[in-house]
Structure 1
Amino acid sequence: MSKEKNPRRVAENEAMAKLRMLRTSPQKLNLVAGLIRGKKVEKALADLTFSKKRISDDVRKCLQSAIANAENNHNLDVDELVVAEAYVGKNMVMKRGRPRARGRFGRIVKPFSELTIKVRQVEEQA
């Protein structure tokens, strides 16, 4: 008497990886996610490796995780993978402060974000 297997959240030719609690604003993370949308995974990894953005290293790790999920869990061919979706969401915000002039309080917000990457196997046309 075991529980039923959970249904897949993505299609049969897709795999997904999610990265939470990234210490950057969603706006900055979305700029890096936009670099890889729709590209083949080899090109996307090369772009992220040589990007000057600080968060691009974490995005590259998430993409590598999605590729590993596709290969090991879903038996997809790595050479035919394309970044189908890369989207960003908000997470928690740490509120900090700093004393300002005349007894006021300067509010400092430190946002966190989360990233979801889906890779899809696309057969090349002859």
Structure 2
Amino acid sequence: MDKANKNNGINLVRSVNKNVRSSTRKLKPILKSLVGKKVDFALRDLEFSNKRICGEVKKTLSSAIANAENNFQYDIDKLIIKEAYCGKQVVMKRFRPRAKGRASPIMKPYSNLTIILSESTKDQKDKHGTKG
């Protein structure tokens, strides 16, 4: 569920949520809006969003924050979302009976959700446009 990487002196913390019951098409706009934000602003945005899947995204983000705090002793106030992306998982195929003995398919897609956090520095704050 967690992993830390060291790239060019930047510490990264990752949290992965597998088998999220939503399509990638519905997840991508939510995740794009989170990239570059401080984690407290991102949690606030997810809290007041009216999308159903925002609860799962919030749970994954909270897990990444807990990993950063407990496993790597990072300061929560300095954490920003470096990357957030999703990928396809399995698709359950179901059929709905229709008129005249026909059937129409119902696709129930699942997704993988990954959020990567990093500690912000002065340069990253200016680059991402966050205040603090």
**TM-score scaled to structure 1, two decimals?**
0.87
Match of 1:75 among 70, 73, 76: 73
Partner of 1:92: 90
| C-alpha separation in 2, matches of 1:102 and 1:9 | 57
Q: Distance in 1 between matches of 2:22 and 2:13?
A: 25
What's the secondary structure of 1:19's corresponding residue? strand
Of structures 1 and 2, the larger Rg is shown by 1
Q: Is the 8 A contact 1:97 1:107 kept in 2?
A: yes
User: Which structure: greater strand fraction?
Assistant: 2
Aligned equivalents of 2:97, 2:5: Cα separation in 1? 48
Q: One-letter code of the match for 2:35? A: R
Which aligned pairs between 1:45-124 and structure 2 lie closer than 5 A? 45-124=43-122
Deviation at 1:9, TM superposition (A): 5.6
Matched residue SS, 1:73: helix
Structure 1 or 2: larger helix share? 2
- TM-score (ref. length: structure 2): 0.83
Identity %: 47
Structure 2: state its 5+ residue gaps. Answer: 124-132
Distance 1:14 1:70 in 2: 9
**Aligned partner (choices 5, 27, 30) of residue 28 of structure 2:** 30
